[in-house]
């Protein structure tokens, strides 16, 4: 049998999608892929259906850098609803417990938040995509099964209260990869003695990308009808995902040999780590790793 022909355009770049709440990250990805009629697409880390905000969508060759964005720091705006604990840690789950919210001052809140800044250990929630003996935890949770989860190290770089009311707190969270904001909210609620869950969540940054250039699905649909070239112009260059790495410019000869799979020596290059590789005309070639020799 002949190989099945893959349909779609060879289009490369990164779209900063403003994911709406109410749909999964994969649903958003598939809609973008169809709108661009892209041959290949992937996203860079799931957002809960409840959450909105920055979801980088990698098209074509950009899918090769998606793993680096998966490892990037994230920033969120989150609202904690105090006094109510749910099965999922957010508004999607059934209510498990309600408790009165005691009056507390700024000093007590700051003392609680300080306990979660820096490196911490966090137990992943049952309603997560992690696997236990080959099964997703959320599938087990839906069956009423709870298994023991090992605490994982994460880091909270910043945890800042933006506003609060009698039974809610708005927080700005800057955290490492692998941080569960729902778990963070529940743990803060326990320290305040009343429990809590996430009632609103928006991701405002992923690695080098903030929410300043976000594009909505509705904007894409409109451009699909009115101005297809402008739609392509929304895509960011692949190398923007790697802005934390130094640039290395290669001569034409070095670029040729590197693209043949041969290591090359570059004068004045960094001595270790990953770099962004360019040909002398500033044409982006890809990612490279400096070897010991």
Indicate if 227 belongs to the active site.
no
Instruction: Output 153-157 pairs: Cβ under 8 A, ≥24 positions apart.
Output: 153/119, 153/120, 153/121, 153/122, 154/119, 154/120, 154/121, 154/122, 154/178, 154/179, 155/118, 155/119, 155/120, 155/179, 156/116, 156/117, 156/118, 156/120, 156/184, 157/73, 157/117
Query: Which residue in 110, 44, 32 sits closest to 73, CA to CA?
Result: 44
Instruction: Say if CB 181 and CB 146 are below 8 A apart.
Output: no
Query: Which residue in 87, 94, 100 sits closest to 127, CA to CA?
Result: 87
From 10, 18, 27, 48, the catalytic residue: 48
Instruction: Say if CB 147 and CB 138 are below 8 A apart.
Output: no
Q: Which residues lie across from 168 on neighbouring strands?
A: 81
Query: Active-site positions?
Result: 48
């Amino acid at each position: 049998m002949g190989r099945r022909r893959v349909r779609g355009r060879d289009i490369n770049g990164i779209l900063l999608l403003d994911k709406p709440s109410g749909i999964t990250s994969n649903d958003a990805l598939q809609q973008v892929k169809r709108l661009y009629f892209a041959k290949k697409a992937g996203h860079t880390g799931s957002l809960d259906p409840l959450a909105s905000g920055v979801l980088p969508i990698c098209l074509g060759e950009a899918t090769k850098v998606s793993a680096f964005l998966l490892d990037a720091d994230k920033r969120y705006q989150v609202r904690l609803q105090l006094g109510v604990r749910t099965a999922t840690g957010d508004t999607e789950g059934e209510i498990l417990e309600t408790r009165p919210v005691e009056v507390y001052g700024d000093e007590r809140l700051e003392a609680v938040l300080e306990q979660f800044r820096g490196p911490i250990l966090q137990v992943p929630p049952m309603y997560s995509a992690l696997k236990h003996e080959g099964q997703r935890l959320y599938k087990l949770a839906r069956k009423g099964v709870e298994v023991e989860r090992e605490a994982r190290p994460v880091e909270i770089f910043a945890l800042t209260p933006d506003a609060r009311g009698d039974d809610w707190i708005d927080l700005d969270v800057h955290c490492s990869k692998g941080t569960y904001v729902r778990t963070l909210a529940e743990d803060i609620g326990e320290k305040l003695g009343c429990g809590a869950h996430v009632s609103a969540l928006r991701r405002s940054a992923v690695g080098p990308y903030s929410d300043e250039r976000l594009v909505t699905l509705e904007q894409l649909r409109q451009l699909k009808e009115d101005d297809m070239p402008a739609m392509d112009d929304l895509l960011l260059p692949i190398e923007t995902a790697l802005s934390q790495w130094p640039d290395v410019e290669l001569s034409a000869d070095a670029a040729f040999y590197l693209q043949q799979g041969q290591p090359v020596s570059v004068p004045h290059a960094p001595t270790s780590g990953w770099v962004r590789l360019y040909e002398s005309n500033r044409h982006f070639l890809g990612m490279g790793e400096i070897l010991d020799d």
